[in-house]
Chain A
Amino acid sequence: MADDRRVRLTRAIDFCSSLRYALPDLSEEESRALFGPAARQHGHNYRLEVTVQGVPDPATGMVIDLKELKEVLEREIVARFDHRDLNRDTPWFEKQPPTPERFALVIHGLLREALGDLLHGLRLRQGDDLWVDVTSGAETAP
């Protein structure tokens, strides 16, 4: 579309967290049987790639001030999760384990709240060989 002036921009941040897969109604032993080694406390290097989309402001030429995006990511993501334990230090993984899928959706919810319709989607990488994509989906055709 020639008149679609929307631009997508992506910013990446890195953080490290510890976690374990557990369910409230399972003993340590039962968790081990269901989730294997992931039931033990372990950690990952996460990389989050956040994509925002919008028409550049006619005066500034920017979709979003990158400094503002950096501050949002620092406040909403890094401050909450970096060098923290996802099970002990956050309220989101009491009823379901912090799988990359669940974690990506929690992050998507936080950023949707902070960025509104600017948020186009995100990719959460756990190590080098695994990632989850979440697309906000409001503007994509079914």
Chain B
Amino acid sequence: MGGRHERRGDGALIALTRRYRFPAAHVLRSERFSDAENRRIYGRCAHPSGHGHDYGLEVTVTGPLDPRTGAIVPVAELDELVRERVLERLGHRLLNEDPWFASAVPTAENIALAVRRELGAALAARGAARLARIRLEETRRNAFECGDET
């Protein structure tokens, strides 16, 4: 498991993962490429009208337990942070219109990296909890992870 997860006095490492969902549309095409190249690289995903997914988003945090609340970060606070910073921003949207993807194609890789950047900074500003990993399921067949290895 991730060696950078929070190590406790007894040597144990602890991490909490919460799963969320959001539906969103995207088109995979880049202005760097011609129409023919976009079709060749992205296949069906380049269809200009767009398509969409029910994304599954897993957010893993690690850190010391708060001595009073007994939590790395209280789940209600994590839910609120993720809702505000990610789910409301990306849910029921065309991802290509979001500034996060102004110069990056909204592939699942780039979505995962953008979410990690946003939540990583938000958690760092908030307190001791650290974002360890993002896992994004685009379909039941495809999942993308960034951050600590498991």
Verify that A and B bind, or say they do not. yes
A17 to B66, CA, bound (A): 23
Query: Taking the complex as formed, is A34 at the interface, i.e. its CB lies under 8 A from any CB of chain B?
Result: yes
Closest-CB distance, A126 to chain B (whole angstroms): 9
Whether the pair A100, B13 counts as a contact (CB closer than 8 A) is: no
Task: Of the listed stretches B1-9, B47-55, B138-146, name the one at the interface; the rest are far from the partner chain.
Answer: B1-9
Which of the residues B11, B16, B74 comes within 8 Å of A130, measured between beta carbons?
B16
How many B residues are at the interface, by size bracket? 20 to 34
B13 → chain A closest CB, angstroms: 4
Chain B 72-128 residues near chain A, CB threshold 8 A: 72, 74-76
Give the interface centre of A35, A38, A101, A109 by most chain B CB atoms within 10 Å: A101
Q: Which A residues, 92 to 142, have Cβ-Cβ distances below 8 Å to chain B?
A: 96-102, 104-105, 108-109, 112, 121, 128-138, 140-142
Give bound CA distance, A88 to B13, whole Å: 28
**A131 and B11 contact, CB distance less than 8 A:** no
Q: How far is the CB of A75 from chain B (nearest CB, A)?
A: 21
Beyond A99-B70, A101-B70, A142-B7, 10 additional contacts (C-beta under 8 Å) are A98-B70, A99-B71, A99-B74, A102-B65, A128-B19, A129-B19, A130-B19, A131-B16, A134-B12, A141-B3
Could you pull out 30 A-B pairs where Cβ atoms are within 8 angstroms?
A: A35-B69, A35-B74, A96-B67, A96-B68, A96-B69, A99-B65, A99-B75, A100-B75, A101-B16, A102-B65, A105-B14, A108-B12, A112-B10, A128-B19, A129-B19, A130-B16, A130-B19, A130-B75, A131-B17, A132-B16, A132-B17, A133-B5, A133-B15, A134-B12, A134-B13, A135-B1, A135-B12, A136-B12, A137-B7, A137-B11
